[in-house]
């Protein structure tokens, strides 16, 4: 659906690249640190799995272990300068997968395992809660994608539009659907926790609600990550040259 949008309509998304925060070198360091972060999160999540009766947790553990081993291996490979300088698109994709694994998958699974420690909850209740929270995440993703696409079509990320002006003039009202969906999700989660006596202390609220909030936050930022990846696949202006500098808009405009 982006074929109707010109390259200039994406230029505001170059800002994290221009600042160096998402340069290949910076992403290489992030991927290397992410190796330890993903391993730590995995250990913390599944170290308490024996006290949880969450359904099919053994299968979840096996699948997640294979995924995280693959991501750790790829993260190490694409943290090496010789590799990432020759494959910036794959490096960016691996960074998206690693970040989403740590911030979305790990947080969601951790919250489900913690909730499953309550012996009063049946497997059916746990699965219904899982399905509804995942459906809410899908709804949030769809609303965010639609919002992002409308902003792109309206030229709100076009060249010459400062980031601050974009947020101030265009994005304020566009957050209304996101807030509505997010508030609905939060209300449902709190109702579930109170109804099933899950909130017995501030600690239980923290260990249940915070991971889910992080999970939904990662779902919210996923569309922008994917659009930047799309731009890296299509436009040279979203790539860095051999010297480590971002290609200029004027000299590199056009598709790869």
Q: DSSP letters along 155-215, please?
A: TTTSTT--HHHHIIIIIHHHTHHHHHHHHHHHHHHHHHHHHTT--SSHHHHHHHHHHHHHH
Closest CA relative to residue 189, chosen from 129, 144, 110: 129
Whether pLDDT at 164 is above 80: no
Instruction: Kindly state the tokens that stand for 178.
Output: 């996101």
Closest CA relative to residue 2, chosen from 196, 216, 163, 145: 145
Whether pLDDT at 30 is above 60: yes
Question: What is the reported pLDDT for 11?
Answer: 83
| Sequence-distant (≥ 6) Cβ neighbours of residue 216 within 8 angstroms | 136, 137, 140, 182, 185
Question: What is the reported pLDDT for 157?
Answer: 82
Span 171-199, average pLDDT: 53
Report residue 221 CA to chain centroid gap: 5
Task: Please name the residue that has the structure tokens 């909730």.
Answer: 115
Residue 252 pLDDT class (50, 70, 90 cuts): low
- Coil/strand/helix, residue 120: coil
Q: Is the pTM of this model over 0.95?
A: no
Span 94-107, average pLDDT: 93
Least confident among 27-31, 81-85, 194-198? 194-198
Whether pLDDT at 10 is above 70: yes
Q: DSSP letters along 66-119, please?
A: HHHHHHHHHHHHTTSHHHHTT-HHHHHHHHHHHHHIIIIIHHHHHHHHHHTT-T
Closest CA relative to residue 34, chosen from 94, 89, 85, 88: 94
Task: Please name the residue that has the structure tokens 């040259």.
Answer: 241
In whole angstroms, what is the distance from residue 113 CA to residue 52 CA?
Answer: 6
Whether pLDDT at 78 is above 50: yes
b or e along 166-176 (b: 16 or more beta carbons within 10 Å of the residue's beta carbon)?
A: beeebbeebee
Q: What secondary structure, in 3-state letters, does 206-255 show? A: HHHHHHHHHHHHHHHHHHHHHHHHHHHHHEHHHCECCCCCECCHHHHCCE
In whole angstroms, what is the distance from residue 237 CA to residue 56 CA?
Answer: 46
Q: Identify the H or E element spanning 24.
A: helix 24-46
Whether pLDDT at 3 is above 90: no
In whole angstroms, what is the distance from residue 193 CA to residue 166 CA?
Answer: 38
Span 55-84, average pLDDT: 95
Span 58-75, average pLDDT: 96
């Amino acid at each position: 659906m982006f074929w109707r949008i010109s390259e200039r309509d994406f230029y505001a998304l170059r800002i994290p690249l221009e600042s160096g925060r998402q340069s290949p070198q910076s992403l290489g360091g992030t991927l290397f640190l992410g190796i330890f972060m993903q391993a730590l999160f995995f250990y913390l999540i599944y170290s308490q799995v024996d006290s949880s009766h969450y359904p099919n947790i053994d299968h979840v553990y096996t699948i997640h272990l294979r995924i995280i081993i693959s991501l750790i291996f790829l993260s190490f490979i694409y943290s090496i300068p010789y590799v990432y300088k020759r494959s910036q698109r794959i490096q960016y994709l691996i960074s998206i997968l690693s970040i989403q694994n740590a911030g979305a998958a790990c947080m969601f699974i951790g919250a489900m395992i913690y909730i499953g420690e309550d012996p009063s909850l049946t497997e059916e209740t746990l699965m219904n809660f899982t399905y509804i929270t995942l459906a809410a995440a899908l709804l949030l993703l769809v609303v965010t994608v639609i919002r992002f696409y409308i902003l792109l079509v309206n030229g709100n990320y076009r060249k010459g539009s400062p980031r601050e002006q974009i947020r101030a003039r265009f994005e304020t009202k566009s957050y209304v659907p996101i807030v509505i969906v997010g508030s609905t999700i939060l209300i449902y989660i709190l109702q579930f926790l109170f109804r099933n006596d899950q909130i017995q202390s501030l600690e239980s609220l923290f260990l249940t609600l915070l991971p889910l909030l992080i999970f939904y936050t990662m779902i919210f930022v996923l569309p922008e990550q994917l659009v930047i990846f799309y731009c890296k696949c299509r436009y040279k202006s979203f790539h860095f040259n051999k010297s480590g500098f971002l290609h200029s808009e004027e000299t590199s405009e056009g598709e790869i």
